[in-house]
Structure 1
Amino acid sequence: MVTIDLTTPPAPPTTFLDGMARRLALTLPELRVVADLAGGAPLPFDLADDGSVPGRGSLSGRLGQSRGSVEDSAYTDALGTLHDPHDTLRRRGLVGDDGPDAGLVGAVGLLATPRLALDIDVAAGATQVKAWHRQDGGAVASLSTCDGIVFELAWFPVEQWTTELARVTAVPEDLRLAASHVPALLDVPYALADSVGEALRSGRSDLVPVLVGQGEGTVLGDGAELGDADAAAALSAVHSESRGRLRILAAEVSERATASVGVVSWVLLKDGWHSLTPHHDDGARVAIARVDPDDLATELAPVLAQVGLREGTT
């Protein structure tokens, strides 16, 4: 049983370089070549059988809705304009006569053989990013992309993981934050939150007051019970203000036949990120709480415990 503490600030680095992650931008063809040089290490997403355009259930699907034929063609054309990956890797000094860069191969190898895996999906405004974080022992490797063509590969000591996770929740500069109609802590029956969302998606906002009035269970705002009008406004705002979402799937990778999976879900509202935490208290409920970007590591700690890892000193 390993111990990972994501809630205690990392120790100050002894040198400037110790406190930095090493990052490289790699195109998809370059990434595939490096994976081949690393002994055929599998990447954390699927490629089409011919190794070119991702298909259904693969990277294409992971980055959002399925591409139409026109978008598939544009994706293929974009890959076709890239230079030969063997040449570009050599010109960049990442592959030499004695083989590929050792750190690069080690990072790709860690992506394929981790002890702990985090699959991260973030959408904010028009931007969507898919990232994979893989950890084993004192090292972490991460891979991320927003278009399936160019990837950022990074590797760093596990003590710096908290800092790297904070990068995941950075709100794009073009999304300006403003006041929200959602309380800092909104606690609602899950069925009510779901039915209100369905009504709004169907264009039946007139049904929201009826659903709130007839719903079972109380709606709490910052610990106090809300009246029907305030509850309807707050629940409507949760759905109407949504500008993005974050989901992290965490799993321990081991020799066990089955491995549990933990989930962290956030939604981006007008005033920033809010966590979504289901719980059972007089029925199924969900707590929607205002969080800071730096809170992600703290939110992950109980999830890591859930999948079989101890969260250190928390």
Structure 2
Amino acid sequence: MYGQVKMPVCGPYAQFYNKDSINVTSFGASTVQGNGEMLNFQTPLKAFLERCYTGKQVQVSNYGIAGETTAMGLLRFDNAIAQKTGFLLILMGANDAIQIADNKGRVSLTLDNIRTMVNKAKEQKLDVILGTLQYFVEPAGRTPEAILMRRRNRIIDQLNTGFKNLARELGVFVADINSVIGKNKELYADIVHPNARGYRIMALVWFDALNQTINENYLSPGIVQNFPNPANGFTKLGFNLPSASRTRVTLYNMRGQKVAVVFDDFRNAGFHEEQISTELYPSGVYILYYELLNMKFSKKIIIVH
């Protein structure tokens, strides 16, 4: 069960998320629908988000219906995203691969359907993340079933390549589930659906993709406590920039006298850690004064030798 495995490490970006809630809508077929409380990715994903984004309201909704192709999903897509805000996770196409392998569909039609979904979601200001499809389990040998599964997996590869190209074209993130789960039979409950551990790993991939989206679009400027503190020889300054900016950090003593400018440079958007030497400064208590994006922050630092 996912609860028996270590929870993910929380990145510093969680401290700078500038919204009050995280609303996630998941859309797809049977892998999204899951099977009960433990055989789904939504339950562990919600737990991961609640652990890292402390104090934020987290909602993860499930709009998966088993057996559907992307064409069928498109018919209910508008209702699924109506009045939704936040993030949309799309994982759909395995049933298309079954049909395409039987010469009853085309990869291009599946990609067109996904494109339509993404564009509709973007019109509603949803942040879309496209999931790549996991493989079908391939039996050993040259049995008819093994040959069929390999044919389906060639279609899966084509669809996943198409999904990644679509994501680049349309400016959305990818949760590359396929690259993580691969063809590891220990992560499957049957020929295509994950078991409990597989679903937890899938949740980790979604979690990382959500963090990437948040890191790019929803972070406020801010700083974290320098570490180590007390500092003996060096310390690391941590700060977040929602856009490229000059950052200047000045060291003051407790009498308010300027000691030195310890960092002054330009950095791109994102979280940064910059190591500075403390060897030149006498032992004592100081203030680090940060200036970034027309905002000012301060943190106490103790230097010991």
TM-score (norm 1): 0.22
Higher helix share: 2
The structure number with the bigger radius of gyration is 2
Which structure has more RCO (C-alpha within 8 Å, separation ≥ 6)?
1
TM-score (norm 2): 0.23
